[in-house]
Chain A
Amino acid sequence: MKRARPRSGIHWLLYLMLVVAALSFIYPFVWMVMATLKPEAEVAGLSLWPSRFILDHYRAVFQKIPLGRAFVNSVFVATTVTALALVFSSITGYALAKLRFRGRELVFSVILFTMMLPFQITLIPMYIMMVNFGWLNTYQALIVPGMISAFGILILRQSFLSIPQDLLDAARIDGCSELRIIFQVVWPLSKPALITVGLITFMNSWNDVLWPIIVMRDRDMMTMPQAVALFAVGGQADAQMGTILAAATLLGLPIIAAYLFLQKHFIASMASSGLKT
């Protein structure tokens, strides 16, 4: 039987460094969650444990901002953006990975180039487009710009490249159209990549504050981050740090839940994406 090797000093040092690194990432979040359960007077302190646990900050959040409505808006917008981004990025990624056409590499290069542009550069042209389309204060303004993402195309193209051409040819002979091939043959074989793109797209859409603030004025159509941001900086929180942090915690919960649920596939995809050709 193979005997476990005793841990060397280097191992312990590495573990210690990892623990410190992990703590430095997790501590601010844990601190935030714990702060929401403390009385306001204790919020500013560094200690995690409150003198007593309270839920007053959460009550205040729900009383002062229409968080339920904002939550529904956010779920609707982020889910729709994610679903559409997966569909359209898959179609584009499939074409770039598996179809032969003139200018394919050029198209791919242009898509990659758009990844280099910061959002602030396209912000004003996009806003002008929304004005011209008459989409200000509509869900389209929140959904359509996120319908396709260069990041999603890149990840899915790389994943689709690893699917054997013969499999697609077999599907064509079996009677599949190209769209059916994508959704019935390619998708089931690309779950980790789809989960990664889906999770990151959902997270980006869910967390987005700047764009909704610019295109959305109607309070009933605001997303959660927009509502929380306006709540935090707009004076409604009465400078109560505990209440602001409670709103921020509520904002982060769906993302954390989604990550915990899908982390196995997410990590698998991120780990394998460097190996695929």
Chain B
Amino acid sequence: MPAIQLRNVSKVFEGETIVLTDFSLEIEEGEFLVLVGPSGCGKSTILRLIAGLEELTAGEIYIGDKMVNDLPPKNRDIAMVFQNYALYPHMTVFNNLAFGLKLSKMPKAEIEIQVNEAARTLEISDLLQRMPKQLSGGQKQRVALGRAIVRKPAAFLFDEPLSNLDAKLRVQMRAEIKALHALLKTTTVYVTHDQVEAMTMGDRIVILNEGIIQQVGSPLDIYHQPKNTFVAGFIGTPPMNLLPVHLEAGDQPIIEGTDFQLPLTSLVDKLKSVAGNELTLGVRPEDIMLVDQADKRAHFHLPAYLAEPLGNETLVHFKLPRGEFVARSNAPLSSLATGQEVGVHFPEEKLHLFDRETGRTFSS
């Protein structure tokens, strides 16, 4: 049985702002599920609906086998970690961790044991008598995690918990949360707008846009087989290049871009499902091959509009009359420079084709 189920959930704010319509999702026991999408896509609303902090407009939410639509947050057996930590500023770290346990009427001795155990797990035992204002951002986030795990809930809900941390600390906390999940194996729903967090942390990722699920799958599935142009353009840094192309069907089909032509051979079978001729071609920056000008594999030649050396690789930007694309090259820094003419090869087996109108993929 799924640990959490949302069935045909709708949420309308103030009688007019529609955030979710007929939304359904199942989260498996022990799973680390990441909800990711741009601002305003409804991901935080979903989390708050599960937590009981927002009322449903329609639909049902189950935690375990219990419908929780009318249950207050405290009776849902969940714990939540907030973006700004939400530690009680007037309580010590110990009391922050113990507050929920005290309210549940747990005996004092038992509270002490639970809080100390959680503090040990998160290595914050020496901070227990401090006030939140005496803690660094990373320590506050650990205390917020401690407050969640100390209650041993059925599910953890994380609402962009790393957004307020600097880049270095974010990477560290990302690993710690993942390790914590591996240790506790508690069902986790994690909301973020950062696709790197989603890719690195989730067992499964749900990509949302305007309250609608765009794709659900493992990080690698989503990366390699995006179902539409939104997912393709959202996941990956830099994201997949999307270029408008025209398909010339026939025995030797050809994709025509504004400055290039790609003869297709291995994709002939796939193209049978393609309706219409106006497509969007998708190709990941790392799948584009940059070759010498004399190399026969080159589909076309273009001057590099901008070369961004990152040390281990170089991002090379190209401009076309309609659109632009980025290639990721492992070539030595000195061999690629802005303005240099290079040969570009799009490997056929790495190409993604999307319906230009609907944005849906033809590739799978």
A: which residues have CB within 8 A of B?
Answer: 164, 166-167, 169-176, 180, 185, 188-189
- Residues of chain B within 8 A (CB-CB) of A188 are 90
Are B82 and A170 neighbours in the complex by a CB distance under 8 Å? yes
Chain A residue with Cβ nearest B55: A100
- Residues of chain A within 8 A (CB-CB) of B89 are 189
A164 to B82, CA, bound (A): 11
How many chain-B residues does the 8 Å CB contact rule pick out?
23
A-B contact count (CB 8 A): 52
- Known contacts A167-B86, A170-B87, A170-B88, then 16 further A-B pairs from the complex at CB < 8 Å, ordered by chain A residue: A166-B82, A166-B86, A169-B48, A170-B147, A171-B88, A172-B73, A172-B74, A173-B74, A173-B79, A173-B100, A174-B74, A174-B99, A174-B100, A175-B74, A185-B88, A188-B90
B51 within 8 A of A: yes
The 3 closest A-B pairs by CB, nearest first: A174-B100, A175-B103, A175-B74
- 27 A-B pairs in the complex with CB atoms less than 8 angstroms apart: A166-B82, A167-B86, A169-B48, A169-B51, A169-B80, A169-B82, A170-B87, A170-B88, A170-B147, A171-B99, A172-B52, A172-B53, A172-B72, A172-B74, A173-B51, A173-B74, A173-B80, A174-B103, A175-B74, A175-B100, A175-B103, A175-B104, A176-B74, A176-B103, A180-B103, A185-B88, A188-B90
Are A189 and B90 neighbours in the complex by a CB distance under 8 Å? yes
Contact with A along B320-353 (1 / 0, CB 8 A): 0000000000000000000000000000000000
- Residues of chain B within 8 A (CB-CB) of A180 are 103
B84 within 8 A of A: yes
Are A170 and B86 neighbours in the complex by a CB distance under 8 Å? yes
- Residues of chain A within 8 A (CB-CB) of B78 are 173
Chain B residues 70 to 119 lying within 8 A of chain A, measured CB to CB, are 72-74, 78-80, 82-84, 86-90, 99-100, 103-104
Chain A residue with Cβ nearest B90: A188
Is chain A's binding surface mostly helix, strand, loop or mixed?
A: helix
Are A164 and B84 neighbours in the complex by a CB distance under 8 Å? yes
Which of A169, A174, A188 has the most C-beta atoms of chain B within 10 angstroms of its own C-beta? A174
- Residues of chain A within 8 A (CB-CB) of B100 are 173-175
- Residues of chain A within 8 A (CB-CB) of B104 are 175
- Residues of chain A within 8 A (CB-CB) of B83 are 166
Are A164 and B86 neighbours in the complex by a CB distance under 8 Å? yes
- Residues of chain A within 8 A (CB-CB) of B90 are 188-189
Chain A residue with Cβ nearest B82: A166
A93 CB → nearest B CB, Å: 19
Chain B residue with Cβ nearest A169: B53
Chain B residues 248 to 279 lying within 8 A of chain A, measured CB to CB, are none
A240 CB → nearest B CB, Å: 52
Are B84 and A173 neighbours in the complex by a CB distance under 8 Å? no
